[in-house]
Amino acid sequence: MKTNDENFVINLAISVGKIMLESGAEIYRVEETIERMISSKIDSKVDVFVLPTGIIVSAKSSTDSITRLERIQSSKIDLEAISRANSFSRIYTQNSLTDEELDVLLMSLTDIPKFSKKTTMFFTGLAGGLFTGLTGGSFLETIITFIASLSVGLILDKLSKFKPNFFIKNIIGGFLIATIGVLSYFLFKSFGINLDYNRIIIGSLMTLVPGVALTNGIRDLISGELIAGGARILEAIFIAIALAFGVGIALQISFSFV
Amino acid sequence: MNFILQVILSFFSIFGFAIIFNIPRRSIFLASINGMIGWIVFFYIQKFSTNFILPPLIGSLIVGLIGEILAIYHKQPATLFIIPGIIPFVPGYGIYYTMFHILNNDLSNALSTGVESIFVAIAIACGVVVATSLTRFIRPYLERLLN
């Protein structure tokens, strides 16, 4: 029966951990899940070491030991995937499943539903636009932020097929946001309407700022994952620097030449 | 009037953030309500206090507590209900003005805004961590109460 085979259990636990890590789960949660899944089926000492860029699992029994390394490439927050991986691991650890039951259960992890691209883009715009409204923006500023976040979301989505690294991608994002903000400021100024371009830029930036990476990084640090937490925070800081860089370039250009 | 506007705008803004993060469809409404409550608390503390740490700390504490309770009730990880709710506290404002001051060669202001945003980020994480540890104490009682 494959459900109690050491190799199978460890590979399964790693693939569940990989899904969680790629969906932006906290490091300690990933470690806990993998460890619980393995030690519920095999009687051996399990060590799990998770970094934002990789998973190392080692299981030692009295006769031999197995070690696996899995490289993690990118992470994009996906709460549906975290939720599914979590319930999978809970059912898996609490029951002893037959092969057929396990295959059915595994189906829930292979095909994770996503909102359609149009829906996601519309709500990206909505989130940014309404944030501007929340922080005291006028109706017009809210609309412009909606358009700015929507178009930046669309453009970054188009660019993602070239696989830009995260630094370049965020510089482009920040640059576009600031360009749209400043252009609309000058456009409406010529009609005699004064807009606060700062508010437009901040609202659109909110859809790109690495808030989750930053908070999860600090949460990992607090729970003792010093290297993983530090790496996450560093990533978040570099995303923030890239965004600021992009916005800064656009602002500098527009105010030196206009 | 302002209050109603804040309620509606924050609800739909967090609804949008939740969809960006591909939240499970059955959790989306509760997560947005949770974030809305957190934002209202954040907004009114910010209005009556000059301290910049207190609003994000209390706000994320509230979001964390409600999120943990919802998580027990729905048997889902608490992250689902917490992550969309804390996004509005993230110091996008601070990041932007840090850059703005650097651009204007105003390094002392850039430093103070930058440090302020770092502490806001730490405060958000601390609020969530405190909420998680608090619910760990009352978890057995809550589970009996809610299930």
Give me the half-sphere count of Cα atoms (radius 13 Å) on the Cβ side of residue A224: 4
Determine the Cα–Cα distance for residues A228 and A217; give it in Å rounded to an integer: 7
User: Kind and range of the H or E element at A14?
Assistant: helix A6-22
Report pLDDT for A64: 80
- How many other C-beta atoms are found inside a 10 Å radius of the C-beta of residue B126? 21
Of A25, A207, A222, the CB nearest to B79: A25
- Listed by start position, the domains of chain B span 2-146
Determine the Cα–Cα distance for residues A7 and A57; give it in Å rounded to an integer: 11
Q: How far is A209 from chain B (nearest CA, A)?
A: 7
Measured between alpha carbons, how far is residue B118 from residues A37, A76, A200, B93 in Å?
A: 36, 23, 22, 12
Asked if B83 lies within 8 A of A212 by C-beta distance, the reply is yes
Report pLDDT for B92: 84
- Contact status of B40 with chain A (Cβ, < 8 Å): no
Residue of A nearest to B128 (CA): A219
Q: How far is A65 from chain B (nearest CA, A)?
A: 32
Of B22, B88, B92, the CB nearest to A205: B92
> Residue type at B93?
Y
| Interface contacts A/B by beta carbons within 8 Å | 146
Residue B5 structure tokens: 């506007």
Question: What's phi and psi for B103, nearest 5 deg?
Answer: -60, -35
Report pLDDT for B1: 66
For residue B22, the 8-state DSSP code is T
pLDDT along chain A (258 residues), means of 10: 74 90 88 89 86 90 84 84 89 80 79 86 91 86 91 89 87 92 88 85 89 86 88 89 91 80
C-alpha angle B118-B59-A25 in degrees, rounded to nearest 5? 70
Lateral strand order in the sheet of A65-71:
A45-51, A54-60, A65-71
Report pLDDT for A4: 66
Contact A73/A17 with Cβ under 8 angstroms?
no
Determine the Cα–Cα distance for residues A205 and B87; give it in Å rounded to an integer: 12
Residue of B nearest to A121 (CA): B20
> Residue type at A77?
I
What ipTM was predicted for this assembly?
Answer: 0.88
Percent helix / strand / coil, chain A, rounded to 5: 70, 10, 20
Determine the Cα–Cα distance for residues A181 and B72; give it in Å rounded to an integer: 43
Measured between alpha carbons, how far is residue A186 from residues A42, A195, A258, B45 in Å?
A: 67, 9, 9, 35
Question: What's phi and psi for A111, nearest 5 deg?
Answer: -125, 80
**In 3D, which of A50, A58, A53 has the Cα closest to residue A10?**
A58
**In 3D, which of B60, B64, B74, B94 has the Cα closest to residue B24?**
B74
Determine the Cα–Cα distance for residues A220 and A21; give it in Å rounded to an integer: 13
Contact A254/A177 with Cβ under 8 angstroms?
no
Which contacts qualify for A225-233: CB closer than 8 Å, 24 or more apart?
A: A225/A27, A225/A28, A225/A31, A225/A50, A227/A51, A228/A27, A228/A50, A228/A51, A228/A52, A229/A27, A231/A51, A231/A52, A231/A53, A232/A27, A232/A52
Determine the Cα–Cα distance for residues B90 and B36; give it in Å rounded to an integer: 15
Q: How far is A127 from chain B (nearest CA, A)?
A: 4
Asked if A77 lies within 8 A of B100 by C-beta distance, the reply is no
- Contact status of B81 with chain A (Cβ, < 8 Å): no
Report pLDDT for B32: 93
Of A77, A222, A245, the CB nearest to B21: A77
User: In B, which residues are within 8 Å of A223 by CB distance?
Assistant: 129
**In 3D, which of B58, B72, B77, B53 has the Cα closest to residue B127?**
B58
Residue of B nearest to A238 (CA): B95
Of A119, A120, A252, the CB nearest to B103: A252
Question: Beta A45-51 vs A54-60: how paired, if at all?
Answer: antiparallel
- Contact status of B14 with chain A (Cβ, < 8 Å): yes
- Contact status of B32 with chain A (Cβ, < 8 Å): no
Of B20, B86, B100, the CB nearest to A120: B20
Grouping H, G, I as helix, E, B as strand and the rest as coil, residue A84 is: helix
Q: How far is A3 from chain B (nearest CA, A)?
A: 25
Q: What is the pLDDT along chain B (147 residues), one digit of tens a residue?
A: 688 888 999 999 999 999 999 999 888 999 999 999 999 999 899 888 888 899 999 999 999 999 999 888 888 888 889 999 999 998 888 888 998 898 888 899 999 999 998 899 899 999 999 998 888 888 888 778 776
Sequence-distant (≥ 6) Cβ neighbours of residue A117 within 8 angstroms = A157
- Contact status of B115 with chain A (Cβ, < 8 Å): no
A23-75 per-position pLDDT tens digit: 888 888 899 899 988 888 887 888 999 998 899 999 887 778 889 999 988 77
Of A87, A123, A201, the CB nearest to B16: A123
